[in-house]
């Protein structure tokens, strides 16, 4: 559906009281809706799908009414109005686990409606909804990262979390961040680009820029996660096979109150100098008995990229098996 733009004049209402201290209430609105919301002077500019734009306009009107009647707004007031909006608009990402199917809508993205595309993706959606920590392990092209980002955006939109934190190990062809040109943003951009691509495929560039500036969405290298506690957050660690055991423990212990976490990776594509150092390899053995932690395993049959990707993965598997057999024979 085509997007529209609506300009809403605030009039005599105290704009700072309406938007909250440090734009807190504006941030709450942006977290709930996919549309972009910007403020120019005394005008709020809303860009998005017509039905949602209309709902945001009604929400602002209701908040103005409460502010005029009470003389102030509280976070509870805004939450109550947003809950009313939740009850009058279709919800995404709140389907019960026994209702998960290939027709389950995870998120209405910028260009398409995102649904599970195979049984393992449906399993991942179910386990993420019903557990606080989920590991999605399997080959490239199975949609692990893309689906994880969609689930995070759905949780943000449904007010289940206040922010999204996305992370990746900065391990690539033996280069370290310090040897790459540019400032920190330019240094980490190549490593985090797949996460950026997934997000901008689901929300507009303007919306993403606004959410990044307000730190509703934060993308950081794994090395910068140490010492943090992430409350009320949806956290994703991508390419986790390149996290060392120490880094994996550090990352998993960042999980704070009312947060969810998805860890994705492919144990056949470890870029660490010593593959045995990968924190993803032995994490199931360490964590398998803990309630609230689940694992989903993808295989080459789940590949959703180009049709040749599954064949390429299969060819490499056959090559690895042949090399292993040759190595075994040479040792006899």
Q: Cα(135)–Cα(10) distance, rounded to whole angstroms? A: 46
Strands 4-9 and 43-48: antiparallel
pLDDT of residue 185: 57
Is the CB of residue 171 less than 8 Å from the CB of residue 248? no
Q: Which CATH architecture has domain 4-88?
A: 2-Layer Sandwich (3.30)
pLDDT of residue 217: 92
The CATH classification of domain 97-298, taken from the options 3.40.50.700, 3.30.460.10, 3.40.50.300, 3.30.930.10: 3.40.50.300
Of 318, 330, 313, whose CA–CA distance to 141 is shortest? 313
Q: How confident is the prediction along the chain (332 residues), in pLDDT tens digits per residue?
A: 567 888 888 877 888 889 888 888 888 888 778 788 888 888 889 988 888 888 888 888 888 888 888 888 888 888 888 877 765 655 444 444 445 666 677 887 666 788 888 889 999 999 999 999 999 999 888 999 999 999 999 999 888 899 999 998 876 544 455 555 555 556 666 777 778 888 888 888 888 888 888 889 998 888 889 899 999 999 999 999 999 999 999 999 999 999 999 999 999 889 888 888 899 998 988 998 888 999 999 988 888 766 676 677 678 778 877 777 766 666 66
For residue 188, give Cα distances in angstroms to 199, 220, 285.
Answer: 16, 8, 31
- Residue spans of the domains in the chain: they are 4-88, 97-298
């Amino acid at each position: 559906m085509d997007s529209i733009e609506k300009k809403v004049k605030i009039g005599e209402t105290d704009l700072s009281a309406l938007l909250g201290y440090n734009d807190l209430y504006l941030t709450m609105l942006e977290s709930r809706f996919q549309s972009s919301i910007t403020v120019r002077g005394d005008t709020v500019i809303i860009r998005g799908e017509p039905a949602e734009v209309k709902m945001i306009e009604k929400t602002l009107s209701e908040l103005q009414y409460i502010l005029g009647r009470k003389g102030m707004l509280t976070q509870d007031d805004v939450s109550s109005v947003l809950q009313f909006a939740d009850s009058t608009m279709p919800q995404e990402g709140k389907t019960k686990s026994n209702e998960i199917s290939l027709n389950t809508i995870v998120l209405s993205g910028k260009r398409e409606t995102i649904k599970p595309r195979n049984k393992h993706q449906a399993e991942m959606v179910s386990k993420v909804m019903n557990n606080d920590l989920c590991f999605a392990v399997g080959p490239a092209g199975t949609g692990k990262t893309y689906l994880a980002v969609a689930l995070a955006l759905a949780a943000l939109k449904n007010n289940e979390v206040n922010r999204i934190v996305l992370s990746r190990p900065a391990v690539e062809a033996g280069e370290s961040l310090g040897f790459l040109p540019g400032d920190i943003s330019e240094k980490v951009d190549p490593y985090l680009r797949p996460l950026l691509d997934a997000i901008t495929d689901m929300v507009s560039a303007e919306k993403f820029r606004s959410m990044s500036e307000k730190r509703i969405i934060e993308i950081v290298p794994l090395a910068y996660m140490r010492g943090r506690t992430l409350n009320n957050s949806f956290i994703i660690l991508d390419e986790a096979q390149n996290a060392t055991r120490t880094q994996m423990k550090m990352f998993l212990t960042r999980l704070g109150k009312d947060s969810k976490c998805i860890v994705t990776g492919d144990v056949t594509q470890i870029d660490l100098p010593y593959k045995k150092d990968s924190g993803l390899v032995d994490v199931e053995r360490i964590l398998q008995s803990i309630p609230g932690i689940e694992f989903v395993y993808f295989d080459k049959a789940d590949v959703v990229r180009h049709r040749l990707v599954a064949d390429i993965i299969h060819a490499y598997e056959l090559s690895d098996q042949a090399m292993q057999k040759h190595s075994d024979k040479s040792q006899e």
